[in-house]
Structure 1
Amino acid sequence: MELVTTHPSGGYILEELHPGMAAEKVIHVSDERIRLFAEASDDFNPVHLDDAFASKTAYRGRIAHGLLSASFGSAVVGTILPGAGAIYISQTLGFHLPVRPGDDVVVRISVISVDQESARVELNCEGFVDGKLIMDGVAVVRVPRRRRPAKD
């Protein structure tokens, strides 16, 4: 695995990508982030927002929205690897463990394959809390073949 950082241009182009490239980002799951996601998604399930309700569920406490945690992959795809200009085509997801308020999620995106003809890249997407896999899946994204010229 070759850990990369944000490209100086803001995004890697298709020809710069190869299997084994990876990027990581740590995202803190705050109460505020959960509340804002509930508002953005219109998902006000009390398991995410109400301590009393959530304490009586199988999770014994509040958990973050699964799709909130999954959206952290988009943060890496859109800003680091491949970065600016990458467009999601598809995403599979598997949720393994709950994410709770106060957790730090480590999101790791790695390049599985690059299709030069279709300008699509297949990415392995994983999320971890305290070293435990909480979610995983595979994304397909379209990547620019060239950079936009700089504006003068």
Structure 2
Amino acid sequence: MTHREDGYILPELSVGMSAEIEITVTEARIQRFAEASDDFNPVHTDEDFARRTPYRGRIAHGLLSASFGSAVVGTKLPGAGAIYLSQTLSFHKPVRIGDVVVARVEVIAIDEASARVTLRTECLVGGEVVMDGEALVRVPRRRKPG
């Protein structure tokens, strides 16, 4: 599905619309996320430490995966102009360096009165859900004149 570069406004959305992106988790991406979030937990940043954990090696920050869902919301669906209000998250499996994460959102409810849209959010690796939840976002009702 092709998505509007300038984002969707409320009347253009319908239940069932979906969008996704693919992102490869890299060493550099984990390092940049650690620096941006100030989360240097060694399970993410130190292979020797992480090998001694139940994960048997480094894993990506859970909120790094969640941020991929935010990328879909902000760039694809609803896209430019959408504002996050809330997000629930459940983490099911770890994400590792080299994994290709498919972040997907789907419109599951639209509240016309409040201009709020509920989205199912999920991240998958190899077709398996590693994270899911629901997001509530505010969507513009109309486009601003150019």
User: Do they fold alike, i.e. is TM over 0.5?
Assistant: yes
Instruction: Return the offset for 1:6.
Output: 2.4
One-letter code of the match for 1:7?
A: R
Structure 2 residue corresponding to 1:118, chosen from 114, 117, 123 = 114
1:13 aligns with 2:9: yes
Q: Which runs of 4+ in 1 moved over 2 A?
A: none
| C-alpha distance in 1 between matches for 2:68 and 2:109 | 21
Residue 83 of structure 1 is matched in structure 2 by 79
The structure 1 residue matched to 2:137, chosen from 104, 120, 141, is: 141
Unaligned runs of 5+ residues in structure 1 are: none
Q: Sequence identity, in percent? A: 66
Deviation at 1:110, TM superposition (A): 0.2
What does residue 41 of structure 1 align with?
37
Matched, 1:29 2:25: yes
User: Once the 2 structures are TM-superposed, how far is the Cα of residue 42 of structure 1 from its aligned partner?
Assistant: 0.4
| Deviation, structure 1 residue 80 | 0.3
Q: TM-score, normalised by structure 1?
A: 0.94
Q: Which residue of 1 aligns with 2:57?
A: 61
Paired residue secondary structure (2:109): strand
1:80-112 residue CA offsets vs partner (Å, 9 max, x unmatched): 000000000000000000000111100110000
Count of equivalent residues: 146
Partners of 1:55 and 1:134 lie apart in 2 by 20
Q: Write the distance in 2 (CA, Å) between the matches of 1:142 and 1:15.
A: 13
Q: Which amino acid aligns with 1:71?
A: S
Partners of 1:135 and 1:73 lie apart in 2 by 10
Superposition TM-score, scaled by structure 2 size: 0.98
Match of residue 100 from structure 2: 104
Q: 1:5 Cα shift?
A: 2.9
